[in-house]
């Protein structure tokens, strides 16, 4: 499990470029920050009100006023800045984020995302996710390829209530990297320990395959 | 004009059926001492407007756990299991709004706007029942202003004229709800003499504030 | 002239109460600040971005960054605060001002105000005046009773382009104080050196007269 | 990522026909050194979005006096006689907008909103030709978002990461236009090392800023 999450977030980290301003969703996406190479600088935004988010502080140095949107203790880097929620969402919705990384319950070949509600079961609420998907220049979905029960999460069409319509740009799982194009999904990379056949079996959505299919570890 | 008042005076501001805005983001920056007074006052049937309903084992969450709320207008309830239970049993009305839309609705309420147009939620269940408008070829949802009877604000420092500073991520919804309450009540970690806060650095001007909870009684 | 302006603004100052937050328009209205009694505290807002505006500094102590909306050097009082134009107009339009005092080209018995444009002649622009009239709880007009040529400025209906429709609450001139009511203008006070007859002659609008007509100096 | 650049690099950002937002309120807080470079660069046919057109005998006003503008979107032109003259002669298109509406339009442009509804201007000539909406029984004007190719900002202090502080009333439109330009160019009285500005006190986060004019060349 940890290995899967590490593989996904390590791969996503490679999408980010020097100078990018990025919001990482709660849960697995936060791990992306651990894999940014030392020679580039990525500025992390936290929707509860700051840019320049740094890693968890050493034990005993946590500050209750300095937490990320998932209530985990974090730090502020030199050059960071705090602000209120109106400015935080002006940044998010206003196109000032280069990318956001979000988890998924379902994602589909039109770039739709569902991650905030399972009717009758789980209704955590959308928090900032709908604004992030609408506002960020690039929306990257970090998700296990299938549910715990082995059901595909990448579908021809989401059946759960949507978080965003047609906003997803890239889907990264432990098995594959898909780009969402106007013509559906394009399989760009597969994991070193899988095959196109396995990816096809575990993906409910149709997809085309890039001429030069790359392998990732 | 700002009044610095004691606990009993704060409690007299509360009444059954009020519409409350409460600052904070999952407990961080929430006015825990004011919430304590709210719980002690015994008022019920409240509407809460804020980011979330806190943690069920921490202070803000007790408003739900102790069943003081009949309606919440928030962006997220996942950290308080009791909110989901009361929603499913029909005891609590839950209106979920995207966080960026919610904060703009509160700002509109405080800034005298009739609403804002947001692209957030178009094509999702959030758009159902909402008024939509097309502006220059793009579709938007109309998000209407929100106001409250009382806004409960947590500041880091307050001067005696009500000028406020917030600290780190504890700022969040606090400055915006301070604009949108008919009466605005502040708890501050420290109350400093007027003049101690640089007028360039004030985050919420004192003209928004009505009451500050006196410190040092606990 | 100065005497007239002093009388008008001195009278308006008496409308303001301890704790009020007030915006004074450019020109004559700024003089209101000079007549606030020492035993009350009125907080002046300046729409270019602060509350707690104080009087003009002594010569040589002017600061180009500390001016009012009319570009005159002012000071900041203890307890004041600076902010940007978005917050300034959130204060103004959002109902956080107890009163605003504005000049007039024309004002009428429906509470309409015209003070930003004489078509073909003078088009300074409305600046913050339209927001002030819509947002402030009480809109007080400070104006000479007639134009320099002796023409009435208080009319049955404004003929110049409006600044605000039905927002004026009180009109104070060197001759009279009128309250705007749902039933037109009510003459509440007259200056000690005039008569109701003179006020009638110089006022184009109709008005009723308060049962207890007060005199002001 | 913020770049600290020299005058010549700034001048290369300017082009004929651009749409510019310029901070300041009748010269106070206006970026006078950037305006000098704009004048030196010789560009023309510009659209100016800002509070006003300055004084005709001071720096901001020279953009009008030297006939660099073909259109202005402002709240006030009374302090620059030349603006009125060029308007009357048909050489300059002047769009007058209430100040509070103008600043919300710029904010909407920077914050990804499709517009805001304002009560300001209802019943006045401002409402003519504007889209109006009724919300809960009250009538509002739709104020649409404004953006610009370049925003020219004057700060008091900037750190090398572009975090900005403003001083006194020189703040005015500067923070909001810093959100609404495709590229944001800053002149600062002082450029300080990153870390010197308290992250709690930053007024404009550096992520909005693209270029800072290097100091000390004059």
Q: What is the pLDDT of residues C116-162, one digit of tens each?
A: 999 888 889 999 999 999 999 999 999 999 999 999 999 999 999 99
Interface probe with D: pick from A63, A94, A96, A167, most Cβ of D within 10 Å: A94
Q: Are D74 and D54 in contact (CB under 8 A)?
A: no
- Give the integer Cα–Cα distance in Å for B57 and B50: 18
- At residue B218, the pLDDT reads 43
Cβ contact, residue pair C130, D176, below 8 Å: no
Contact present, C133 and C100 (Cβ < 8 Å): yes
CA distance B100 to A92: 8
Which residue from C3, C8, C15 is spatially nearest to C29, judged by alpha carbons? C8
- Report how far residue D168's alpha carbon sits from residue D174's, in angstroms, rounded to the nearest whole number: 12
- Ramachandran region of residue B193, left (φ > 0), alpha (ψ -120 to 50) or beta? beta
From residue C165, alpha-carbon distances to C133, D26, D98, D139 in Å are 9, 27, 14, 13
Residues of C whose CB is below 8 A from B194: 78-79
pLDDT in tens, chain B (218 residues): 899 999 999 999 999 999 999 999 999 999 999 999 999 999 999 999 999 999 999 999 999 999 999 999 999 999 999 999 999 999 999 999 999 999 999 999 999 999 999 999 999 999 998 999 999 999 999 999 999 999 999 999 999 999 999 999 999 999 999 999 999 999 999 999 999 999 999 999 999 999 999 998 54
| pLDDT digits 0-9 by tens, A188-203 | 999 999 999 999 999 9
Q: What is the pLDDT of residue C1?
A: 58
The answer to whether C94 and B179 are in contact (CB under 8 A) is yes
Q: Write down the catalytic residue from C3, C6, C17, C47.
A: C47
What DSSP element (H or E) covers D22? strand D19-22
Contact B195 C94 (CB under 8 A): no
The answer, for C82 touching chain B at a CB cutoff of 8 Å, is: yes
CB-nearest partner of D119 from B112, B144, B200: B112
Gap from D140 CA to chain B (nearest CA, Å): 7
Scanning A19-38 for CB atoms below 8 A from D yields 19, 21
Q: In angstroms, what separates the C-alpha of A90 from chain D's closest C-alpha?
A: 4
Nearest chain C Cα distance for residue B42, angstroms? 31
In angstroms, the CA B189 to CA A73 distance is 20
Q: Which residues pair with A140 in a beta bridge?
A: A101, A170
B208 contacts in chain C (CB < 8 Å): 96
What is the tens place of the pLDDT at every residue in C29-51? 999 999 999 999 999 999 999 99
Summarised one tens digit per residue, pLDDT across range B13-64 is 999 999 999 999 999 999 999 999 999 999 999 999 999 999 999 999 999 9
Let me know the angle formed at the C-alpha of B72 by B66 and B78, rounded to the nearest 5 degrees: 80
What residue spans define the domains of chain D?
Answer: 4-114+145-213
pTM for the whole structure: 0.98
Cα–chain center distance at C46:
14
Write out pLDDT tens, residues D34-68: 999 999 999 999 999 999 999 999 999 999 999 99
Question: Tokens in use for A207?
Answer: 């997809």
Q: Do D116 and B108 touch (CB under 8 A)?
A: yes
CA distance C160 to chain D (A): 10
Q: Please tell me the predicted confidence (pLDDT) of residue A1.
A: 58
Chain A residues whose beta carbon lies within 8 Å of the beta carbon of residue D181: none
Q: Average pLDDT, whole number, for chain C? A: 96
Q: From the list D122, D125, D175, which residue is nearest C84 (CB)?
A: D175
Cβ of B75 and A69 within 8 Å? no
Smallest CA–CA distance, residue D133 to chain A, in Å, is: 24
**Length in residues, chain D:** 218
By percentage, how much of chain A surpasses pLDDT 90?
96
Rounded CA-CA distance C88/A87 in Å is: 16
pLDDT (0 to 100) of residue C181:
97
Contact D102, D173 (CB under 8 A): no
- CB < 8 Å to D48, chain C: none
Rg of chain B (C-alpha set): 17
> Which is higher by pLDDT, A122 or C61?
C61
Residues of B in contact with C43 (CB under 8 A): 207
CA atoms lying within 13 Å on the CB side of residue A39:
1
State the Cα torsion B159-B165-B166-B171 to the nearest 10°.
Answer: 110
Binary contact (C128, D98; C-beta < 8 A):
yes
pLDDT score for B217: 53
- 3-class DSSP state of B127: helix
Q: Which residue has the higher pLDDT, A2 or B79?
A: B79
Closest residue in D to C82 (Cα–Cα): D168
The tokens describing B187, both together, are: 């708890």
Cβ contacts of D172 on chain C, cutoff 8 Å = 48-49, 84-85, 88
List the single residue in A18, A51, A134 with the smallest CB-CB distance to D205. Answer: A51
Q: Contact B29/A92, CB-based, under 8 Å?
A: no
Could you tell me the two tokens for B92? 């609590």
List of chain D residues whose C-beta atoms are within 8 Å of the C-beta of residue C115: none
Give residues with Cβ within 8 angstroms of A151, minimum separation 6. none
Pairing of strands D93-96, D69-74: parallel
Q: Are strands A176-181 and A170-172 parallel, antiparallel or unpaired?
A: antiparallel
3-state SS, chain C, equals: CHHHHHHHHHHHHCCCCCCCEEEECCCHHHHHHHHCCCCCCCEEEECCCEEEEECCCCCCCCCCCCECCCCCECEEEEEEEECEHHHHHHHHHCCCCCEEEECCCEEECCCCEECCCECCCECCCCCCHHHHHHHCCEEEEECCCECCCCCECEECCCCCCCCECCCCCEEECCCEEEEEECCEEEEEEEECCCCHHHHHHHCCCCEEEEEEEEEEC
A108 touches chain B (CB under 8 A): no
* Interchain pair C83, B161: CB under 8 A: no
Q: What structural domains and CATH numbers belong to chain A?
A: 2-216 (3.40.1080.10)
Mutate to test the interface with D, among B104, B164, B175, B200 (most CBs of D within 10 A): B200
- Name residues whose C-beta falls within 8 Å of residue D126's C-beta, 6 or more positions apart in sequence: C126, C130, D96, D97, D98, D101, D120, D141
Q: Is the pLDDT of residue C204 over 50?
A: yes
CA distance linking residue C213 with residue B89, whole number of Å: 64
What DSSP character marks residue A196? H
Beta-bridge partner residues of A207: A185
| Beta-carbon separation of B194 and C79 below 8 A | yes
Q: Is B169 helix (H, G, I), strand (E, B) or coil?
A: helix
Per-residue CA distances from D154 to C84, C94, D22, D194 (Å): 13, 28, 9, 18
Question: Cα–Cα distance between A130 and A92 in angstroms, integer?
Answer: 10
Residues of chain C contacting D100 with CB distance shorter than 8 Å: 89, 92-93, 128, 130-131, 135
Locate D162 and state its tokens: 């572009």
pLDDT bracket for residue A123 (50, 70, 90): confident
Å from A38 to nearest chain D CA?
16
Nearest to B168 among A66, A71, A127 (CB): A66
Radius of gyration of chain D (CA): 17
Cα(B113)–Cα(B145) distance, rounded to whole angstroms? 7
Give all strands (DSSP E) within chain A, no chain letters: 21-24, 43-46, 50-54, 75-82, 99-102, 106-108, 113-114, 138-142, 154-155, 170-172, 176-181, 184-191, 207-216
B99 and A76: CB-CB below 8 Å?
Answer: no
Buried b / exposed e over C10-49, threshold 16 CB at 10 Å, is bbbbebbeeebbbbbbbebbbbbbeebeeeeebbbbbbbb
The answer to whether residue C3 is catalytic is no
Residues 13-72 in B contacting D (C-alpha not used; CB under 8 Å): none
User: Which whole-number Å values give the CA distances from D180 to A155, D49, D125, D203, in the listed order?
Assistant: 37, 11, 27, 15
Chain C adjacent subunits, 3+ CB pairs under 8 A? B, D
Which residue of the set A3, A6, A47, A72 is catalytic? A47
CB contact under 8 A, C162 and D125: yes
Give the strand order in the sheet containing C176-181: C75-82, C50-54, C43-46, C21-24, C99-102, C138-142, C170-172, C176-181, C184-191, C207-216
Residue B140 is predicted with a pLDDT of: 98
Exposure string of A126-162, with b = 16+ CB inside 10 Å and e = fewer, is bbbbbbbbbbbebbbbbbbbbeeeeeebbbeebebbb
Q: What is the dihedral of CA A66, A67, A69, A71, to 10 degrees?
A: -140
The chain B residue lying nearest A48, using CA atoms, is: B172
Share of chain C above pLDDT 70, in %: 100
What is residue D218's predicted lDDT score, i.e. its pLDDT? 43
Structure confidence at residue C17 (pLDDT): 97
What residues of chain B lie within 8 A of the CB of D168, using their CB? Answer: 200
The verdict on C74 touching B (C-beta cutoff 8 Å) is no
Which residues 132-191 in chain D show a CB within 8 A of chain B? 133, 135-136, 138, 140, 142, 144, 165-168
Question: Which residues on B lie below 8 Å from C82 (Cβ)?
Answer: 199-200, 202
**B163 and C78: CB-CB below 8 Å?**
no
- What is the SS3 assignment for D1-18? CCEEECHHHHHCCCCCCC
How many cross-chain Cβ pairs, A to B, lie less than 8 Å apart? 135
Kindly list the residues from chain D whose CB atom is less than 8 angstroms away from the CB atom of residue A50. Answer: 199
Inter-chain residue contact B168 with A166, CB threshold 8 Å: no
Check residue B19 and give its pLDDT.
98
Q: Which pLDDT band, with edges at 50, 70 and 90, does D217 fall under? A: low
Best to test chain B binding among D105, D114, D133 (most B CBs inside 10 Å): D114
**Measured between alpha carbons, how far is B182 from A54 in angstroms, rounded to an integer?**
38
Are B23 and B29 in contact by the 8 Å Cβ rule? The answer is yes
Helix (H) or strand (E) holding B164: strand B164-165
Phi, psi angles (nearest 5°) of residue C23? -110, 130
d(Cα C89, Cα D206) in Å, to the nearest integer? Answer: 25
* Cβ contact A116:B76 at 8 Å: no
- Pairing between strand B19-22 and B46-49? parallel
CATH topology of domain D4-114+145-213: Glutaconate Coenzyme A-transferase (3.40.1080)
CA C56 centroid distance within chain: 19
Name the residue among B115, B165, B201 with its Cβ closest to that of D135.
Answer: B115
């Amino acid at each position: 499990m940890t290995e899967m999450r590490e593989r996904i977030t390590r791969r996503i980290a490679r999408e980010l470029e020097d100078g990018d301003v990025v919001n990482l969703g709660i849960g697995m996406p936060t791990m992306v920050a651990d894999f940014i190479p030392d020679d580039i600088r990525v500025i992390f935004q936290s929707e509860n009100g700051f840019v320049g988010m740094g890693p968890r502080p050493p034990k005993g140095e946590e500050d209750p006023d300095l937490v990320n949107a998932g209530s985990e203790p974090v730090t502020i880097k030199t050059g960071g800045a705090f602000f209120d929620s109106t400015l935080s969402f002006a940044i998010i919705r206003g196109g000032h984020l280069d990318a956001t990384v979000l988890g998924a319950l379902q994602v589909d070949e039109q770039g739709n995302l569902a991650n905030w509600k399972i009717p009758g079961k789980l209704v955590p609420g959308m928090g900032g996710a709908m604004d992030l998907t609408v506002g960020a220049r690039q929306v990257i979905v970090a998700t296990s390829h299938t549910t715990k029960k082995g059901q595909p999460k990448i579908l021809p069409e989401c059946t759960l209530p949507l978080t965003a319509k047609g906003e997803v740009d890239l889907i990264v799982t432990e098995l594959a990297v898909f780009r969402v194009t106007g013509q559906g999904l394009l399989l760009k990379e597969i994991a070193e320990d899988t095959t196109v056949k396995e990816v096809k079996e575990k993906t409910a959505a149709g997809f085309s395959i890039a001429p030069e299919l790359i392998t990732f570890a | 004009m700002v009044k610095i008042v004691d606990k009993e005076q704060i409690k007299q501001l509360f009444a059954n059926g009020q519409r409350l805005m409460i600052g904070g983001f999952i407990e961080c920056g929430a006015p825990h001492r004011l919430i304590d007074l709210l719980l002690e006052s015994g008022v019920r049937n409240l509407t809460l407007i804020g980011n979330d309903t806190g943690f069920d084992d921490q202070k803000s969450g007790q408003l739900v756990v102790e069943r003081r709320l009949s309606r919440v207008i928030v962006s997220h309830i996942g950290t308080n299991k009791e909110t989901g239970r009361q929603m499913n049993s029909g005891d609590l009305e839950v209106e979920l709004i995207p966080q960026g839309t919610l904060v703009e609705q509160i700002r509109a309420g405080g800034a005298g706007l009739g609403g804002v147009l947001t692209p957030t939620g178009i094509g999702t269940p959030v758009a159902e029942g909402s008024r939509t408008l097309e502006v220059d070829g793009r579709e938007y949802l109309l998000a209407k202003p929100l106001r409250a009877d009382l806004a409960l604000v947590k500041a880091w420092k307050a001067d005696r004229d009500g000028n406020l500073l917030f600290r780190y991520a504890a700022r969040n919804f606090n400055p915006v709800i301070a604009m949108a309450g008919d009466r605005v009540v502040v708890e501050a970690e420290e109350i400093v003499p007027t003049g101690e806060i640089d007028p360039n650095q004030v985050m919420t001007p004192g003209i928004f504030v009505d009451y500050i909870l006196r410190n040092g009684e606990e």
